[in-house]
Copies of this chain bind each other. A is one copy, B any other.
Amino acid sequence: MTAPLTPTEIAQTASLASHVLKAVSGADRDAALTAIHAALEANKGAILAANSKDMSAASALVTQGKLSQSLVKRLDLSKHGKWEDMLSGILQVKSLPDPVGKTTLATKLDNSLDLYRVTSPIGVLLVIFEARPEVIANIASLALKSGNAVILKGGKESVHSFAAIAKVIREALESTNIPPGAVQLVESREEVNSLLDQDQYIDLVIPRGGNELVRYIKEHTRIPVMGHADGLCAIYVAEDADEQKAVKVVVDAKTDYPAACNAVETLLINSATLTTVFPKIAQALIYAGVSLRCDEVSLAALESTPSTSGVTLKAGSTITAAVAEDYDTEFLELTLAVKTVDSDDEAVNHINRHSSGHTDAILTESKERAEDFMKRVDSAGVFWNASTRFADGFRYGFGTEVGISTNKIHARGPVGLEGLMIYKYKLLGDGQGAGSYGSGEGKKRFLHEPIAF
């Protein structure tokens, strides 16, 4: 048995593999996905056995009160449909169009001097995620499809599952034209820390996990980081919001999956709706088990209209006074901060100040008002009469997603394969020097004619 690679060696290995990946064909990359799919299928027993080790260890921690039951659920690969979804996900990624080598710009600079901009892989990705062992297959597929090498670090709770899946992937790659070093696994936090220093080999870090993980990584690396620390989404109920739509959208955005980053955390209500639409929304939320943290005005509105549109409390839900931090809190549970605003302007300003730039929505019947909101709110997703929960790569039709980015450069919002690509400029000449061109006498002029592609 050989000694395990050091983090530097892991990064170098990934870099070398990335150079091979850049040169192989799309068919070669697809063949690797087929091989991984088949190998996972063939080794289901061994992987599920490893997964049940993780489950036992996690269950023991739950008994000791050191781990939440919901985390154990996320670990479970044998849970209905999860294994099948993981395998079909690989084939889905395979079926996507090859993102490598696509021409996105072509210009004739001069006769026999043609410029092409073509998509190319970024290089080496470091993907760090928590729990959910099936993510490894998903990320490995996305990386290989896009011609990138990837180093993966999973959560410590799923270490056996990860190791088993990684071993199968590695062995599967040995029969293909893709070097096994294209997908590597690291297990310890120390290795990750060291990898975060390898900016000469690693081109992009993608953290998929909680706020704390993302912040930690952003603080500890010079490598670009793509992801989102917070998902603090807001919905603004404008004065002309339709009652039925508002109730449906807000309840969905809060309750469909409260732990998701695209769940709504702040409800901004125009003061004109305090006695009209707002109490209906509040009642529906309360019925759905949501606790409201209301500013003074909205609290008073709910208390003062008990007979007509007033709100009846249900077990488990509370209506309490909000504190300032509530408008900067990602609750990730059935709690919603409510704030009254007097104008669209105030709503937009609140969002640009407090939201995390993930997804924010307006509920209004006015297209003009919606367009103004969507132009001025500086978030990855700006929605009109639709739940913030739609902010998701699958729902957007990308087939799959690498994650959701609140970055202001490169890729923003749900990131599909495109987010793992960059481009290069190819210039095909015939021996020209740049000194022959210019505006002076005797100098050649550039043609700059578009080339059809």
Contacts and interface: CB of A to CB of B under 8 A. Distances in A.
Contacts of A382: 424-427
A239 interface: no
A376 B19 contact: yes
Nearest to A414: B425
Interface in A414-453: 414, 422-437, 446, 448
Interface string A356-369: 00000000000000
A220 B113 CA distance: 40
Contact of A218 (B23, B222, B372, B397): B222
A129 interface: no
Nearest to A112: B385
Interface size class of A (residues with CB under 8 A): 35 or more
A378 interface: yes
Contacts of A437: 395
Interface stretch (A33-41, A171-179, A294-302, A405-413): A405-413
A386 to B, nearest CB: 3
A227 interface: no
Given A222-B218, A427-B390, A378 B434 contact: no
Interface in A165-203: 203
**How many copies of the polypeptide does the oligomer hold?**
2
Nearest to A392: B434
Give chain A's interface secondary structure class.
Answer: mixed
A424 B381 contact: yes
B19 A352 contact: yes
Interface string A370-403: 1010111011111111110111100111000000
Contact of A412 (B396, B423, B430, B435): B423
Contacts of A230: none
29 contacts: A18-B378, A22-B376, A23-B375, A23-B376, A107-B397, A109-B395, A113-B386, A115-B396, A224-B409, A242-B431, A249-B429, A249-B432, A252-B433, A256-B434, A378-B424, A379-B424, A380-B424, A381-B425, A381-B426, A382-B427, A384-B427, A384-B428, A385-B429, A389-B434, A390-B432, A395-B434, A410-B410, A412-B424, A413-B424
A390 B434 contact: yes
Given A385-B432, A410-B410, 6 more contacts: A19-B378, A101-B375, A107-B396, A115-B396, A244-B431, A253-B433
Contacts of A352: 19
A14 to B, nearest CB: 13
A447 B423 CA distance: 30
A325 interface: no
A248 interface: yes
Nearest to A219: B222
A375 B376 CA distance: 41
Contacts of A391: 425, 427
A207 interface: no
Contacts of A411: 409
B123 A434 contact: no
A293 to B, nearest CB: 22
A144 interface: no
A119 to B, nearest CB: 11
A150 interface: no
Given A22-B376, A422-B409, A424-B413, A249 B384 contact: no
A47 interface: no
B412 A422 contact: yes
A203 B412 CA distance: 13
A238 interface: no
A17 interface: no
B424 A256 contact: no
Nearest to A397: B448
A72 interface: no
A283 B64 CA distance: 79
A74 interface: no
A375 B26 CA distance: 13
